[in-house]
A and B are shown apart, each in its own frame.
Chain A
Amino acid sequence: MKKGVLITIAVIVAIVFIVGSSLAGTYNRLAKMEESVNSQWAQVENVIKRRADLIPNLVNTVKGYASHEEEVLTKITNARAGFESARTPEEYAEANAQFESAMRSLNVVVENYPELKANQNFLELQAELAGTENRISTERMRYNDAVREFNTAIRRFPINIIARLFGFEQKAYFQIDAEDMEVPEVNF
């Protein structure tokens, strides 16, 4: 009888050990994935901020040639404010859409100012903006990939139970509206 108790205890200890170490392993794996989502998001914020930083310079350059196009200039400045107050992927996506629509109006306006189009500073800004668009789309794609991997992992059984236990939550994708899917024209 005593032997039986001992075996039972040994079995329980072994089960606890196995469950515990697999829990720890899963937790560590999820934590690592979550961290890569976060760092990739930081990268997205980084490139978006880079674009926001280009805006004052852009506005000033355009002002020099087309100061009375206030409507467009205000729109662009507002878009920048949107980036600065944005915190979540949804808010960023909204600010992004706003900025891109402002850029489209600017493109129309710029057509009327050949001197602005030929301005060296303006040409360089244009190259920087185009490059930044590309960076944003690259980092956004990588962020979404990281989110997809993480979200898929924490939805799978039985990991979903463990994820809930430790408070892992689904991460938001950085989505853009279908109308913004077309590459915003920065070829003025």
Chain B
Amino acid sequence: MRKLHFKYISLILIILFLASPTYALPQPSYDFYVYDAANILNKATEEYIIQTNLELYEKTEAQIVVATINDLEGMDINRYATELFDQWDIGGSRLDNGLLILIVPAEGQLWIEVGYGLEGVLPDSIVKRIIENRIIPYFSQGDYDSGVLAGYDEILNYVEKEYDIELKSRTGQYDGEYESDFTLGYRSRLSNIFLILGIIIFLIVDFKFFGGWLTYSMMRTFGRGSTGYRGNSGSSSRGRSRGGGGRSGGGGAGGRW
């Protein structure tokens, strides 16, 4: 009887496994804004894209993600970009103002997918022009960093104009101030007060009735667990960034070099 159950369960598992999609899109990186699987961007470029994005997101909820991959897994680049955009939830959910720059160096192709909310300021013809005039000239010489930066900066110009803002981080004036504002919004600051109150009450109760035993044992557990807590985030002291829930509908343009 038991064996029979085991058989059924494994059968179900096999079916589930077969039914799941065969291709797997990559998961976003820790910093979210740059995913460089093809390893074509240097640290300074990545840092610039991340810093400007942190400020941009704080001000407008817009997100501009640069992703490089090695393989399209047999998909058309525009379909791949649309699905990746969908899975990563790029841009704010209220305005759908995300943008994805997808680069596949091995295939000599790139695609810029524009979220619904940015289609007005970045229509396909403009995106096409950015690709042909700013990005491809560098890419065709193998200079990916300059190409990405030129295209990214031009897109930022349009986005800045759309929201009537100026990003301080573009000129290096960004000092991380926005980041702390961004991670500790008003609501989370309020809940922090409650958290601190809760901890104080807990400590009083614990030391009064248990002689502090609960506190000590918890500190021991956390102390052990905290090593490597950041995982592979490297030297970064930033918090993890995520997609804001924005959507796209296949708009944008692509190019080859």
Whether B249 pairs with A131 at a CB distance below 8 angstroms is no
Whether A43 pairs with B128 at a CB distance below 8 angstroms is no
Contacts A124-B125, A138-B82 given: A130-B251 contact, CB under 8 Å? Answer: no
Whether B128 pairs with A127 at a CB distance below 8 angstroms is yes
* Alpha-carbon gap, A124 to B82, bound state (A): 22
Whether B249 pairs with A128 at a CB distance below 8 angstroms is no
Which residues of A116-154 have CB atoms within 8 Å of chain B's CB atoms?
123-125, 127-128, 130-132, 134-139
* Alpha-carbon gap, A139 to B79, bound state (A): 12
Q: How far is the CB of B75 from chain A (nearest CB, A)?
A: 12
Which residue in chain A gives the minimum CB-CB distance to B113?
A134
Whether A134 pairs with B125 at a CB distance below 8 angstroms is no
Q: How far is the CB of B158 from chain A (nearest CB, A)?
A: 15
* Alpha-carbon gap, A127 to B112, bound state (A): 12
The reply to whether the CB of A48 lies closer than 8 angstroms to some CB of chain B is no
Whether A139 pairs with B253 at a CB distance below 8 angstroms is no
Complex contacts, B76 vs chain A, CB 8 Å: 183
| Contact bitstring B64-93, A, C-beta under 8 A = 1, else 0 | 000000000000101100100000000000
The reply to whether the CB of B124 lies closer than 8 angstroms to some CB of chain A is yes
Whether A127 pairs with B249 at a CB distance below 8 angstroms is no
The reply to whether the CB of A102 lies closer than 8 angstroms to some CB of chain B is no
The reply to whether the CB of B115 lies closer than 8 angstroms to some CB of chain A is no
Number of interface residues of B (CB under 8 A): 15
Whether A128 pairs with B250 at a CB distance below 8 angstroms is no
Whether A127 pairs with B125 at a CB distance below 8 angstroms is yes
Q: How far is the CB of A81 from chain B (nearest CB, A)?
A: 24
The reply to whether the CB of A52 lies closer than 8 angstroms to some CB of chain B is no
The reply to whether the CB of A79 lies closer than 8 angstroms to some CB of chain B is no
The reply to whether the CB of A37 lies closer than 8 angstroms to some CB of chain B is no
The listed residue (B123, B127, B129, B249) touching A138 by CB distance below 8 A is: B249
Which residues of A31-55 have CB atoms within 8 Å of chain B's CB atoms?
43, 47
Complex contacts, A130 vs chain B, CB 8 Å: 124, 253
Whether A135 pairs with B251 at a CB distance below 8 angstroms is yes
Contacts A43-B249, A127-B253, A139-B249 given: A134-B128 contact, CB under 8 Å? Answer: no
Q: How far is the CB of A45 from chain B (nearest CB, A)?
A: 13
Complex contacts, B128 vs chain A, CB 8 Å: 123-124, 127
* Alpha-carbon gap, A124 to B252, bound state (A): 12
Contacts A124-B125, A124-B128 given: A131-B82 contact, CB under 8 Å? Answer: no
* Alpha-carbon gap, A128 to B127, bound state (A): 10
Which residue in chain B gives the minimum CB-CB distance to A127?
B128
Complex contacts, A43 vs chain B, CB 8 Å: 249
* Alpha-carbon gap, A57 to B249, bound state (A): 23
Which residue in chain B gives the minimum CB-CB distance to A121?
B125
* Alpha-carbon gap, A37 to B82, bound state (A): 20
* Alpha-carbon gap, A118 to B110, bound state (A): 22
Complex contacts, A137 vs chain B, CB 8 Å: 79, 250
Complex contacts, A134 vs chain B, CB 8 Å: 78, 82, 250-252
Complex contacts, B124 vs chain A, CB 8 Å: 127-128, 130-132
* Alpha-carbon gap, A161 to B125, bound state (A): 51
Whether B82 pairs with A128 at a CB distance below 8 angstroms is no
Whether A135 pairs with B125 at a CB distance below 8 angstroms is no
Whether A128 pairs with B78 at a CB distance below 8 angstroms is no
Whether A135 pairs with B249 at a CB distance below 8 angstroms is yes
Q: How far is the CB of B155 from chain A (nearest CB, A)?
A: 16
Contacts A127-B128, A134-B78 given: A47-B249 contact, CB under 8 Å? Answer: yes
Can you list 23 A-B pairs with a CB-CB distance of less than 8 A?
A: A43-B249, A123-B128, A124-B125, A124-B128, A127-B124, A127-B129, A127-B253, A128-B123, A130-B253, A131-B124, A131-B250, A131-B251, A131-B253, A132-B124, A134-B82, A134-B250, A134-B251, A134-B252, A135-B250, A137-B250, A138-B79, A139-B249, A183-B76
Q: A128-B124, A134-B250, A138-B79 are in contact. List 6 more A-B contacts (CB 8 A).
A: A127-B128, A131-B123, A134-B82, A135-B250, A135-B251, A137-B250
A-B CB proximity, top 6 nearest: A138-B250, A131-B124, A127-B128, A124-B125, A134-B250, A135-B250
- Chain A residues in contact with chain B, CB under 8 A? 43, 47, 123-125, 127-128, 130-132, 134-139, 183
- Chain B residues in contact with chain A, CB under 8 A? 76, 78-79, 82, 123-125, 127-129, 249-253
